[in-house]
Structure 1
Amino acid sequence: MEGQGDSNKNQIPQESPSIRVTGTDGVASGSGDSAGQEQKYVLALDVGTTTLRSHVYDKAGQVKGSSWRPQEIQQPEPGWSEMDPKKLLEDVCFVVTDSIKASGLEPQQISCMGISTMRGTFLTWDRETGEPFHNLITWQDLRASDYVSVWNKSFTLRALNTGASILHTLLRKKRHLAASVLRFMSKQVTMRLLWVLDNVPNIRKRIAEGNVMFGCTDTWLLWKLTGGSCHATDYSCASATGLFDPFQMEWSTIVCGLVNIPMCIFPEIRDTSGDFGVTDRDVIGFEIPITAVVADQQGSMFGHCCFDVGDVKCTLGTGTFIDLNTGSKPHASVAGLYPIVGWKIGKEVVYLAEGVSADTGNVMTWAESMGLFEDVSETSEMAESVPDSGGVYFVSAFSGLQAPFNDDLAVTSMFGMTPNTTKAHIVRAILECVAFRFKALYETALTETKLPLSQVRVDGGVAGNDFVVQLMSDLVNQTIDRSDTADMSALGAAYLAGLASGVWSSKEEVESLRKHNRQFEPRHTWPSYKKLYFKWEDAILRSKKWYPGL
């Protein structure tokens, strides 16, 4: 499943390949002071699409030390997107060690560690040698687009959809409704993994010999950091692959059987907050219990303390991700919302309905590279310098269009430019597109789930743009609460890890630590934007079915 946002995108200084940040008190906390020795600390590793971060948190949820490094994306072929798995591990060891140093602590003072990762980026490797069969294939990779197209048009899938539809009519089970509208997407792992099994030499032979291991980013890092003792994932990460059945809470025998993916390569699925082993001294230099693994958007949801049914969070990072707490039951969508597991802690299972627009922060980066502005912080003021977009409409679809438009072949496009169009008009159109995509996702969630939605909690680098967030509030007539913490995925991972190890005793204690930066109240300007929004939807239609070569 798509959905791997980098929550702090566009807010990270780029002058250095890594950075260390000391605690807010400006002194090294913990090295020889008795109060520091009694304090409990949690380390959180956040593996994003563009940036790798590590933070050390104290019991008050405050960052005591941080370190980060940029991620290097390789594109060996048009549409391909890869990462070097060995380089990733090397960078992880660096930022974890460096963040502890930046905090002024010793490794033995860290109670536990939580890991948050982007979703849908996966790897296969040899069980005997530990060597990867290929690079990490990221969630943005389009090499399996032909597979997606062929399978979605196949008689086999149509037969499955029809059979499931009949069963849903007879039995009224949501699982059958979900299967009746099942479609494969490039952002899901399924078709990309099938491409690997069909195209990587000897991998099927090694599978038959029982020597192939599969995992997304979290599983690869767990296996390496624990010295090969833990081949596992959690329910939140598993549920975002497209290979998981959220209604049965297990790897999907239906999907895997349908496309001939052997389930013997899959990792064990464990509770989100629990035991994932201990870091190996030979790998990273010290031992810290790993007590949480969570997918980035679900981690952000937990960091926002969206614990009640109807709670909504929106992350404006590399992409836009709307997640709605649907409680103890998964949502079966016909419009493209995805039912995922938010987290599982003991007997508690919380489900989310998620909508995604894959291109947000990366569009801002592209616009900056095109010379539309010198710094992303200028864009809010630029947008407000003109009364409207001057008839310009922008469609962000570098990775196709997701719910509710659902077209992998859509392309990024811009309409309505005239000789009078300025940079400010184009920038405003781009920011309006971000808000328009949010509105489309929000209304889809509202219509499909029929749940009373609470105020929206927002985070991510692009959420720092006042123009965007205020317009989002205006378009959906809803209060939007902007978090005081930009890196919410890491905070959620820290909370989940700390709950498992006794740093925090309950979700209520965690919720008491929550802080917000600003609340945006709707200004009731929808009537003036109504025509513009519908015109933008026309632009969406013109952008569909356009991707070259497919």
Structure 2
Amino acid sequence: MPECVLAVDQGTSGTKALVVCPERGVVGTGFAHVRPRYLPGGLVEVDPRELYGSVVDAGRRALADAGEPVTAVGLANQGETVLAWDPATGRPLTDALVWQDRRAEPVCAELADHAAELRHLTGLPVDPYFAAPKMAWTRRHLTRAGHVTTSDTWLVHRLTGAHVTDAATASRTGLLDLDRAEWSRRAAELYGLAGERLPDIVDNAAHVGTTTAFGPELPLTGLAVDQQAALLAQRVTEPGTAKCTYGTGAFLLAHTGDTPHRGGSGLAACVAWRLGGRTDHCLDGQVYTAASAVRWLTDLGVLTGAADLDPVGATVPDAGGVTFVPALAGLAAPWWRGDLRGSLTGLGLDTAPGHLVRALCEGLAAQVAELADAAAADLGAPLTVLRVDGGLTRSALLMQTQADLLQHPVEVSALPDATALGVGALARLGADPALALADALPGTGPTTVYEPRVTADEAAERRDRFRTAVTALLAGDPA
């Protein structure tokens, strides 16, 4: 019988672990919360020990729930979260700066004259969302000691002793030469990181070491950044289709083939995965706040949680003239204005909670539609379908709004944990190099398909209202 694997997805607000068997699917689950601290000035940080503890706890719970052995482990990571740590002891030397953290904006401002060069070299804009500015800020303001890396490298070191990162995560730093898929001396020099001991770059499916953190000694054979793992699980392995994951943020990725595709529409170009030495590439667009915007409405008392989106939204027929740009942690792709904050306009004495909910859903869907249009423009052909996953896909209101504004079908994955399942597939490939990629991936199709219910003209009108609100933000006009 084919062997089961332990797949661990270390995310922003928690770590999910699954025991996945190729014939029976998920046979065990575990979860452990992570509590990032959201501080004034756009700062977001978390205790690294909490990250590692959540990985171990979630993994052990999944194994206990399954009650059967596994042969390998896969680990997915947040992508752009950074910390400094002592390579001799594994002890963290700083808190981890979470991907949403904006404190490295001054570093980026200083590099404005080199932004075009860095974007061509690495595929990424100069923005504090990515790892390199946070690494540079950490070196300037926190410590010169130890290694400064993305969180995956530290977690893997704690688990196995190895000093590695995978090719996809490396491409999210701003330090990778995208054409050569190796560290760029020039990028490191510009960021003031020329003397750093950067981790070795490995394939996404490879044996990187063994760990006893979960009990039995197990090989770690799959590594990936979270969004690329979900892209793989969604079987977006050829150009023409995109996926969007609706988690803390919303992330749209479109496969672009086996060579880097640098477009002009504001999306990031990065590695999708490297398997057997062959590198696939993708375009990547981000909405910084999705579930975190829902949590914001919850904290205000408009909702009691994400499960309220549909019933509260159903109390009104439309957004009542309210337009919400939910840029609560800045505007990401394709605008790259992290200094901006969201806007809520068109309020009246008759504005009810349902209007705010519908306006939020419309704002999120409009941002994702902008990303899809940007990907289509860069690829030179329209996307035919959007495959979606993540917790917010449980909202029929949000998904129908997404199909309406996109004017294309939206396929909701039957895989609620696509990131974990993607890195689980990589773990299987790393443990059995003879296995074909198609045979390692989950085979389940969509659970629901949302078709557009409004005309193209109505969709265009609603998106124009959103663009007008974004333009006002960009111009500094609160109206």
TM interval, shorter chain, is over 0.9
Deviates more, 1:297-306 or 1:86-95: 86-95
Going from structure 1 to structure 2, the CA distance change for 1:195 and 1:61 (only over 3 Å counts) comes to: farther
Give the corresponding residue for 1:194: 136
How far does residue 378 in structure 1 lie from its aligned partner after superposition? 2.6
How far does residue 179 in structure 1 lie from its aligned partner after superposition? 4.9
Partner residue of 2:55 out of 85, 92, 105: 92
Give the Cα–Cα distance (whole angstroms) in 1 for the partners of residues 147 and 99 of structure 2: 19
Give the corresponding residue for 2:37: 74
Q: Which amino acid aligns with 1:366?
A: W
Q: Which amino acid aligns with 1:41?
A: C
How far does residue 500 in structure 1 lie from its aligned partner after superposition? 2.1
Give the Cα–Cα distance (whole angstroms) in 2 for the partners of residues 53 and 370 of structure 1: 27
Q: Which amino acid aligns with 1:87?
A: E
Give the corresponding residue for 1:271: 203
Indicate the percent of aligned positions where both proteins have the same amino acid: 27
Partner residue of 1:130 out of 75, 90, 96: 90
Aligned pairs for 1:384-423 (under 5 A) are 384-423=314-353
Give the corresponding residue for 2:26: 63
Give the Cα–Cα distance (whole angstroms) in 2 for the partners of residues 501 and 436 of structure 1: 41
Give the corresponding residue for 2:159: 225
Give the Cα–Cα distance (whole angstroms) in 1 for the partners of residues 41 and 188 of structure 2: 28
Give the corresponding residue for 2:171: 239
User: CA contact under 8 A between 1:51 and 1:71: conserved in structure 2?
Assistant: yes
Give the Cα–Cα distance (whole angstroms) in 2 for the partners of residues 99 and 397 of structure 1: 35
Partner residue of 1:513 out of 430, 443, 453: 443
Partner residue of 1:251 out of 183, 191, 201: 183
Give the corresponding residue for 1:7: none
Show CA shifts across 1:183-218 (max 9, x none).
Answer: 4101011221111111224x1xx4xxxxx3232121
User: CA contact under 8 A between 2:204 and 2:222: conserved in structure 1?
Assistant: yes
How far does residue 293 in structure 1 lie from its aligned partner after superposition? 0.2
User: CA contact under 8 A between 1:52 and 1:92: conserved in structure 2?
Assistant: yes
- Larger relative CO (CA 8 A, sep 6+): 1 or 2? 1
Give the Cα–Cα distance (whole angstroms) in 2 for the partners of residues 256 and 231 of structure 1: 18
Give the Cα–Cα distance (whole angstroms) in 1 for the partners of residues 454 and 351 of structure 2: 28
Q: Which amino acid aligns with 1:256?
A: A
3-state SS of 1:300 partner: helix
Q: Which amino acid aligns with 2:3?
A: K
Aligned pairs for 1:280-295 (under 5 A) are 281=212, 283-295=213-225
How far does residue 181 in structure 1 lie from its aligned partner after superposition? 9.3
User: CA contact under 8 A between 2:372 and 2:383: conserved in structure 1?
Assistant: no
3-state SS of 1:318 partner: coil
Deviates more, 1:496-505 or 1:351-360: 496-505
Give the corresponding residue for 1:26: none
Going from structure 1 to structure 2, the CA distance change for 1:67 and 1:236 (only over 3 Å counts) comes to: same
Q: Which amino acid aligns with 2:128?
A: S
Going from structure 1 to structure 2, the CA distance change for 1:177 and 1:260 (only over 3 Å counts) comes to: closer
Give the corresponding residue for 1:145: 105
3-state SS of 2:94 partner: coil
Aligned pairs for 1:492-507 (under 5 A) are 492-502=422-432, 505-507=435-437
Give the Cα–Cα distance (whole angstroms) in 2 for the partners of residues 372 and 271 of structure 1: 45
Give the corresponding residue for 1:4: none
Give the Cα–Cα distance (whole angstroms) in 1 for the partners of residues 47 and 265 of structure 2: 35
Give the Cα–Cα distance (whole angstroms) in 2 for the partners of residues 504 and 87 of structure 1: 36
Going from structure 1 to structure 2, the CA distance change for 1:81 and 1:521 (only over 3 Å counts) comes to: same
Give the Cα–Cα distance (whole angstroms) in 2 for the partners of residues 263 and 52 of structure 1: 33
User: CA contact under 8 A between 1:178 and 1:334: conserved in structure 2?
Assistant: no
Partner residue of 1:371 out of 292, 301, 308: 301
TM (normalized to structure 1)? 0.82
Give the Cα–Cα distance (whole angstroms) in 2 for the partners of residues 284 and 468 of structure 1: 38
Q: Which amino acid aligns with 1:193?
A: M
**Structure ranking higher in strand proportion:** 2
Going from structure 1 to structure 2, the CA distance change for 1:61 and 1:336 (only over 3 Å counts) comes to: farther
Aligned pairs for 1:427-438 (under 5 A) are 427-438=357-368
Give the corresponding residue for 1:317: 247
User: CA contact under 8 A between 1:504 and 1:510: conserved in structure 2?
Assistant: no
Give the corresponding residue for 1:117: 77
How far does residue 66 in structure 1 lie from its aligned partner after superposition? 0.9
The aligned length equals 478
Give the unaligned 5+ runs of structure 2: none
User: CA contact under 8 A between 2:14 and 2:54: conserved in structure 1?
Assistant: no
Show CA shifts across 1:112-167 (max 9, x none).
Answer: 11111111001222233433221111111121122222332xxx427xx4xx6xxx
Give the corresponding residue for 2:114: 157
How far does residue 286 in structure 1 lie from its aligned partner after superposition? 2.4
3-state SS of 1:124 partner: strand
Give the corresponding residue for 2:275: 345
How far does residue 524 in structure 1 lie from its aligned partner after superposition? 4.3
Deviates more, 1:214-223 or 1:374-383: 374-383
Going from structure 1 to structure 2, the CA distance change for 1:116 and 1:182 (only over 3 Å counts) comes to: closer
User: CA contact under 8 A between 1:181 and 1:334: conserved in structure 2?
Assistant: no
1:54 and 2:11 are equivalent in the alignment? no
Partner residue of 1:303 out of 224, 233, 242: 233
3-state SS of 2:18 partner: strand
